[in-house]
Amino acid sequence: VLASGACNIARLPDFAARVPPSVAMLTAQSYRNPGQVADGGVMVVGASSSGTQIAQELQRSGRQVTLSVGEHIRAPRIYRGRDLEWWMDAAGVLDERYDEVDDIRRARRVPSLQLAGTPDRTTLDLNALLDRGVRLVGRLAGITEDGKAQFAGSLRNMCALSDLKMARLLDLIDEWARDNGLDATVGPPERPPPTRVEDNPPLGLDLAGGAIRTIIWASGYRPDYSWLELPVLDRWGHVRHDGGVADQPGLYLMGMQFLRRRKSALIDGAGDDARDLSDHLAAYLRQGSIP
């Protein structure tokens, strides 16, 4: 059973090699605190949970942060008086199975929610970062040979789509609360204001000009199977499997995104997946064949 995780190696785009030598680079995996980062401007690439938290911390430390925003999922930390994870667990969102979605490959690539764990459980989203002075730009689409960053012009659309996904999730929660008699025991339904986007966000930035001293790549991870001597990897470097059952007899997988359920990569999701795979293995041992 391969249980080595989905987040072994920080994922960087090929054009990261064109970052000028004057700009230091870290990843979300190697970043620990603002003391690692030189004074001056910082560009954080990626606006999921890690990118937003790093951007907030660095902005608080006195750096001017530019956040490059691609696909992301906005979510309130607390909704109707309860933690969002409580709602998703209770309403069955996290139990959705891999064989119930239209495009499982797409579902497994969905970024993590913009959820931060803090003592006061405040919501950290792009509006909160804007209030602190973080500047938003579009997805980093490339870097030219002379060190100019190029941003996609889709920032407004990306934010609108994220707001739409959040509204759909909250609508589902409201429906579940109503159907299960919770409306009278929790707070009223509410919707955060739309994400604010400036009219003409910049489409380029000269990285060699000195305004940016550091880039932090919060652009995701990939698993490390360099040690695995079996012909089971697809062209993206992932193990080919059906709900954790690899296409190599006797090989199984645990702890990957949406392995069998939406919560498969979460701590509490591993238990249900383990029970399913244990049933599969027990049936094999009883019958002498793979069910």
Do 71 and 195 belong together in one domain? Answer: yes
Q: What's the mean pLDDT when you consider all of the chain?
A: 95
Residue 55 confidence (pLDDT): 98
Look at residue 203 in the predicted model and tell me its pLDDT: 97
- Mean pLDDT (whole number) for 150-172: 97
Cα 66 from chain centre: 19
Indicate whether 228 belongs to any domain: no
Q: CB-side exposure of 267: number of CA atoms within 13 Å? A: 1
- 288 pLDDT above the threshold of 80: no
Percent of the chain at pLDDT above 70? 99
Q: Which residue has the tokens 């929610």?
A: 113
Residue 233 lies in a domain: no
Mean pLDDT of 165-170: 97
Q: What is the mean pLDDT of residues 33-57?
A: 97
Whether residue 149 is found in the same domain as residue 45: yes
Domain range enclosing 274: 241-287
Q: Is the distance from CB of 118 to CB of 129 less than 8 angstroms?
A: no
pLDDT in the model for residue 289: 59
Given a cut of 80, whether residue 290 has pLDDT beyond it is: no
- Quick one: 146 and 281 in the same domain? no
For range 146-166, the mean pLDDT: 97
Statement to judge: residues 132 and 248 lie in one domain: no
Residue 162 contacts residue 195 (beta carbons within 8 Å)? yes
Write the pLDDT tens digit of every residue in 46-102: 999 999 999 999 999 999 999 999 999 999 999 999 999 999 999 999 999 999 999
> Is the residue at 254 inside a domain?
yes
Q: What is the pLDDT of residues 231-279, one digit of tens each?
A: 999 998 999 999 999 989 899 999 999 999 999 998 888 999 999 999 9
Report the predicted TM-score, pTM, of the whole model to 2 decimal places: 0.93
Is the CA virtual torsion 50, 56, 57, 59 positive or negative? positive
Q: Establish if 107 belongs to a structural domain.
A: yes
pLDDT at 272: 94
CA–CA dist 95, 220 (Å, integer): 23
> Are residues 177 and 264 part of one domain?
no
SS3 (DSSP) at 68: strand
Last residue of a domain, one of 166, 188, 221: 221
- Judgement on whether residues 73 and 210 belong to the same structural domain of the protein: yes
Task: Please tell me what DSSP assigns to residue 10.
Answer: E
How many CB atoms sit inside 10 A of residue 247's CB?
11
- pLDDT class for 287, splitting at 50, 70, 90? confident
Domain count, the chain: 2
Q: Check the CA dihedral 32-35-36-40 and report its sign.
A: positive
Contact 253, 260 (CB under 8 A): no
* Residue range 196-235, pLDDT digits in tens: 999 999 999 999 999 999 999 999 999 999 999 999 999 9
Is 180 contained in some domain? yes
Residues 30 and 151 in one domain: yes
CATH code of 94's domain: 3.50.50.60
Confidence (pLDDT) at 166:
97
Rounded Cα distance, 64 and 200, in Å: 19
Same domain, 179 and 246: no
Distance CA 41, CA 211 (A): 6
270 falls within a domain: yes
Does 198 lie in the same domain as 101?
A: yes
Residues 100 and 36 in one domain: yes
